[in-house]
Amino acid sequence: MSTFAPMLAVAPALASMPGGIFDPTLRVKELEDQLVSMRASLVCAFNQLLDLKDLNTGYHSTRLAEWSVRVAQELGLPESRFADMEVTALLHDIGKIGVPDSILKKPAKLTEEEYDLMKKHPEYGWAIVRLFPSFEHVSHFVLHHHESWDGKGYPGGLKGTEIPLGARIISVIDSFDAMVSSRPYRRGLPMEEALRRLIIASGTQFDPQVVQCFIRIAQNEMSSVFAATGTSTTVVL
Ligand SMILES: [Fe+2]
């Protein structure tokens, strides 16, 4: 029997109760609120999973979420899309849960076979996120966040505007964040060098419009951006 069948069976009786517990507008609002709250809980739970696997840090995901919304605003996306951008920023690498630790944490260069396995993470992520209620857009952004503007990315080899805009935004800000963040084995680049590299890859790896937009934000909000990354605007730490 369906999980929902018992609830459906009692619904008509509840609706006809004196005073009618169903003011249809209130009920819809209540259900919408529940859905929003369930989505938020799911996102938090999966974000915790990423933390447990040591696949991101609080700062990393928070600043990506902030930047993704700022870029979406600057590009004129409707406000209704901002939540999707935040969720994509938080969960874009969730599929790495399916990649063995020996590959994720390997301190040396990956072999070809290992790299092929690593490249599966957008598809694994899509398979997880598509099961969340009303996350269809997000699942596509997750699936395509390693596509390249020139068609040389993966998994689909999509080109230019074939790549969903949400995925193009994540691609730029995630790459920038990776460049400026320090790792145990290397120091983060100064912002100006990271921006220079974004410009070089604009039109090949990255959507030029997204790069231009992000650079404007980074330059105008340099201090807050770099307070968030914990790195320097000009000096290699
Ligand atoms: Fe990724």
Each residue's pLDDT tens digit, 111-155: 999 999 999 999 999 999 999 888 999 999 999 999 999 999 999
Is residue 168 within 8 Å of 206, Cβ to Cβ? yes
Ligand 1 midpoint to CA 146 (Å):
6
CA 134 to chain CA mean position, Å: 15
CA of 65 to the centre of ligand 1 (A): 15
Give 92 Cα–ligand 1 centroid separation in angstroms. 6
CA of 63 from ligand 1 middle (Å) equals 16
Question: Which pLDDT tens digits describe the chain residue by residue (237 residues)?
Answer: 444 444 444 444 545 555 455 567 778 888 888 888 888 888 888 888 888 887 765 567 778 899 999 999 999 999 999 999 999 999 999 999 999 999 988 888 899 999 999 999 999 999 999 998 889 999 999 999 999 999 999 999 999 999 999 999 999 999 999 898 877 777 889 989 999 999 999 999 999 999 999 999 988 876 665 555 544 444 332
Provide the domain limits for residue 164: 46-229
How many Å lie between the centroid of ligand 1 and the Cα of residue 119?
8
Half-sphere exposure in the Cβ direction for 50 (13 Å, CA) = 23
Rounded to the nearest angstrom, the distance between the alpha carbon of 129 and the centre of ligand 1 is 14
Residue 15 is assigned to a structural domain of this protein = no
Cα of 175 to ligand 1 centre, how many Å? 9
User: Is there a domain that residue 186 lies in?
Assistant: yes
Query: What is the rounded CA–CA span in Å between residue 32 and residue 213?
Result: 33
Residue 212 backbone phi and psi in degrees, to 5: -60, -45
Q: What is the pLDDT of residue 236?
A: 31
97 Cα to the center of ligand 1, angstroms:
11
Q: How far is the CA of 19 from the centre of ligand 1 (A)?
A: 53
* Residue 126 located in a structural domain: yes
d(CA 149, CA 202): 8
The Å distance, Cα 170 to ligand 1 centre, comes to 9
- Ligand 1 centroid distance, CA of 31 (Å): 33
Note whether residue 95 is domain-resident: yes
Distance 32 CA to ligand 1 centre (A): 31
Ligand 1 centroid vs 118 CA: distance in angstroms?
A: 9
Q: Give the pLDDT of residue 62.
A: 79
- Using the mean position of ligand 1's atoms as its centre, give its distance from the Cα of residue 111 in Å: 18
Q: Is residue 117 part of a domain?
A: yes
Rounded distance from Cα 142 to ligand 1 centre (Å): 8
Residue 133, pLDDT score: 82
Q: Which domain CATH number covers 188?
A: 1.10.3210.10
Report if residue 110 sits inside a domain: yes
CA–CA distance, 145 with 93 (Å, rounded to integer): 9
* Ligand 1 midpoint to CA 200 (Å): 21
pLDDT for residue 111:
95
Confidence (pTM): 0.81
237 located within any domain: no
How many structural domains are present in the chain? 1
Question: Would 92 be classed as within a structural domain?
Answer: yes
User: Do the beta carbons of residue 94 and residue 46 sit within 8 Å?
Assistant: yes
Backbone angles phi, psi at 49, to 5 degrees: -60, -45
